[in-house]
Chain A
Amino acid sequence: MGFVSSLKFDRHSGAVLVNEEFMNIRIRRKMFLDAAQSLLTPEMADAWGIEAVYAGCGSPSVNQEIIDGTRTALATRFAATAKGKDQTAAAPTVKDIGLMAGEVLQRLIHRDMDLKLHLFYGFTGDDLNRGSFSSDGSKFEIKQDKVKTKAHEILNNKYADRNTPLYNDTRGHIFGFDPATGISAYHLDVTNGNVGFNMEAYECLGHGKYALETSMAKFLNNVTYPMRQRGYCRLLGIYELFTAALAAREAFHCTGGNLDIVYVDGSQATHAERYREFNGEASRVAMHVVQAAETGYVTKKDAFELIDAALFEGRPRRQVEEDLFRRANNPRALDFVLRGYKVHEVAEMAATWDAEAPRPAASKRRNKK
């Protein structure tokens, strides 16, 4: 299932953060979810000057179908626009893309209902609407009460089988940039086919969403209106996304695996510069940096510099790690923390070592600006 979080930093930039864990068959863990994908090819993005990422939680196959369907719709639109000229006038907005994805979702929901009706009874939703169906050349009225009741349960999403919980947990998040709107986001809900506009452009979905949201609220509730208007530093934004992710990992299932980040910066000229993905070792070391700061082993200032080095400067992971340990006030203790030892126990152990042991950071960070 996984989680999705996002944050708008300023008018033209923001980031989406997802994790790679999902579960299937008897709650078995898998760490290879590909939850955040661009809806545009590089050619489209460069021609149109826009960016759009789809990040989904819940059923991986439902989300992939929405991504594929939306990509097809965009490709059709792109093919219809004249090449060789400035195509930005014909570019869709993020809202347009959100609505396209919504249509894909609505067709998918309807199709899945038809599959069930067809399997159980041999007719579709259209037949139910008209009150009859045809089979082998004959017309049959749909009169049986039990059938009608069950069929309506299916249409109203009241029917449940073993796939239903995951299906109903599916949510999509479309986050992107277009010149007219700047950064904006849209929300898809598989239980009702709705497309919602996300005005604040922050999002917390999926497993661990309550921890994500609580962490995000602690940050955003202390950001003033002028600050929200003018925006804030991308390093602060990414730091907060990681902090929220760590909170989710602490207290909820299905929040593990690597963290993947998509950073969107609409002020840049090309797709390659506007849409940047950080995953694998780069994002893991960035997560470790935030963990180190949150547990008091490096300062927040150090953390920002290290995140910048790991992600935006693209320094080799090992180099960033060595720098992290060099800056740590107790490298050995930090080693244990990053290996998953419990923070309070490490502090107790470290108190017996030569170096001064920092106290676990707990909530003291929230009192700082």
Chain B
Amino acid sequence: MTSINAMRFDEYSGMLVCDEARSWNEENGRILTAEKIRPITSEEVIKATGAVVLMGKTGTSTLGNEFLESTKQAVTARFRQMAEEHGLPLKRFMTVKEMAHFLFHNLCEVKRRHVDNTLKARYGFTSNDYIAGSYRNDKGERVEIADKTVVDQVHKILTWEGQCPESKAIFLNGQIVAGYEPEEGFRIFRSSLIAPHCEPVHEIYAADGSGVDSTDFVYTAFNNTRTVPERRGAIDRVEGLAVLLEALLMAGDNSAGCDGYVKIHYVNGREKDPVRRWKEIHDARSKLASEVVKAGLHGFLKWKKVHELLEALIYEDRPLLEVDDGLKRAATDSAAMLDLLRGHPHWRDRHI
């Protein structure tokens, strides 16, 4: 129950957006605290290498957090090791592709640890023991793993064959890795344990989570109408932002669990100062950006005005109230627009 999304604007820049809802328990509780997209390059790594790479996660919240944090620690550890071996500045660190695959291998390690927890509790051996066919118990005795039912059941847990419930929480996870690094520029990768893969994204976007039911229609419509040069690296950053927000709005309306404020991460490798290459926009500013797009979609603003307001709010950092006033002034019917923003249904107003 999530929407994570990334879009590449050009070879230097792109954007990632997500919602913040977390499903809490079997009673369908939800809470708006999830940080679904976070950097896997620490500030130390960003400053030293100029690489800004983020990961978006969907699936079991605790597992996703473990994947992300352990990968960030591992990337930092790798950086420190290389810095010690080769000295700073490094000629080369890791590309986005290498980080994506690094992440996937880290996922495998986390998966193995969690599966081993279940196997040890239930059967007294680990996955390595299982593969080897035997283990040593607490008394030091060698025990063959021979029982057919045990062999079959453990294989299901290891591989999620038949989507067995024991390992559902581990396997039902997907990731998007996107960001900029100086060697290859801005790239997007997606990976998943559901159907195990880690691959570059051919399109200019990646979307995952339950919200993809909705967001994919928006991105498809957008991509279908981009020219080849645009798709190869000339997407207008404001237009891209508007499409990402439109997609999140649709996900929020149509799919459960895509709620709360939008979190926006803008990555721009053109910034000379590496720390400024990553800009995080959240809370009221991202909420207002969503509202601007919503007003545009329902015909209260011309699209040119939507772009102007988004540029001012997100890229130029104009004060929030100034943009809010601008929104209300520019609306064709401010009272009706506020009705919409306060939740009154308005289907006839949608601009076609």
Contact = CB atoms under 8 A, between A and B. Distances in A.
Interface of A: 23, 26-29, 31, 207-208, 210, 251-254, 258, 281, 284, 288, 318, 335-336, 338-342, 345-346, 349
B341 A28 contact: no
Contacts of B344: 281, 284
A29 B254 contact: yes
27 contacts: A26-B213, A27-B210, A28-B256, A29-B253, A29-B255, A31-B345, A210-B29, A251-B24, A252-B27, A252-B29, A252-B30, A253-B23, A253-B28, A253-B29, A253-B256, A338-B343, A339-B287, A339-B341, A340-B287, A340-B342, A341-B287, A342-B283, A345-B283, A346-B284, A349-B284, A349-B320, A349-B321
Chain B contact residues: helix, strand, loop or mixed: mixed
Given A26-B213, A27-B1, A338 B28 contact: no
Contact of B27 (A210, A258, A336, A339): A210
B257 A27 contact: yes
Contacts of A210: 27, 29
A251 B29 contact: yes
B335 A318 contact: yes
B291 interface: yes
B28 A254 contact: yes
Interface in B28-57: 28-31
Contact of B343 (A251, A318, A340, A342): A340
Contacts of A251: 24, 29-31
Interface string B263-304: 000000000000000000001100100010000000000000
Given A253-B257, A254-B256, A28 B31 contact: no
B261 interface: yes
Nearest to A353: B321
Contacts of B341: 339-340
Contacts of A318: 335
A26 B291 CA distance: 26
Contacts of A341: 284, 287
Chain A contact residues: helix, strand, loop or mixed: mixed
Interface in B70-119: none
Nearest to A318: B335
A258 B343 CA distance: 9
Given A318-B335, A335-B338, A28 B27 contact: no
B274 to A, nearest CB: 30
A336 B324 CA distance: 10
A149 B1 CA distance: 36
A208 B321 CA distance: 35
A293 to B, nearest CB: 16
A335 B338 CA distance: 8
Contacts of A31: 345
Contacts of A208: 28
A290 to B, nearest CB: 14
B253 A253 contact: no
Interface string B1-29: 10000000000000000000001100111
The 6 closest A-B pairs by CB, nearest first: A27-B256, A253-B28, A339-B341, A338-B342, A253-B256, A253-B30
A26 B210 contact: yes
Contacts of B321: 349
Given A253-B23, A318-B335, A28 B30 contact: no
- Counting chain B CB atoms within 10 Å of each CB, the highest count among A29, A207, A210, A258 belongs to A29
A12 B203 CA distance: 64
A256 to B, nearest CB: 9
A6 B341 CA distance: 29
- Counting chain A CB atoms within 10 Å of each CB, the highest count among B23, B31, B256, B341 belongs to B256
Given A29-B256, A208-B28, A345-B283, 18 more contacts: A23-B256, A27-B210, A28-B213, A28-B254, A28-B256, A29-B253, A251-B31, A252-B27, A253-B30, A253-B257, A284-B344, A318-B335, A339-B287, A339-B291, A340-B342, A340-B343, A342-B284, A349-B321
